[in-house]
Amino acid sequence: MEPLDAALRVLADEARPLHWTVIQDLALRRGYLDPFAQPDLRRRLLGALAEAAREGRVARAGTGVYAPAPPPGPSRSAAGAP
């Protein structure tokens, strides 16, 4: 499993904001990531989380803390707001 997929799965499982170290720990403990098959796992996970936050796939909830992205809602114009 790729680091971002593992992170997204952990965040979905936990449904709450988590520090990246907790995300990594849970992904390793649950077997979503293999540190021997994926070199430089820490760098890859942090990079994937940062990119996912920029894309809106996860939300930043603080320094090093990521949360599941909020579900997409109606846009302001679709909701009738000016």
- Per domain, the residue ranges of the chain are 3-68
Q: How would you write the pLDDT of the chain (82 residues) with one tens digit per residue?
A: 999 999 999 999 999 999 999 999 999 999 999 999 988 999 999 999 999 999 999 999 999 999 998 877 665 445 555 5
Q: How many alpha carbons lie under 13 Å from residue 36 in its C-beta half-sphere? A: 1
Q: Residues 6 or more apart from 15 whose CB is under 8 A from it?
A: 68
Say what the pTM is.
0.83
- CATH, range 3-68: 1.10.10
Token representation of residue 11: 């965040």
Q: Is 41 helix (H, G, I), strand (E, B) or coil?
A: helix
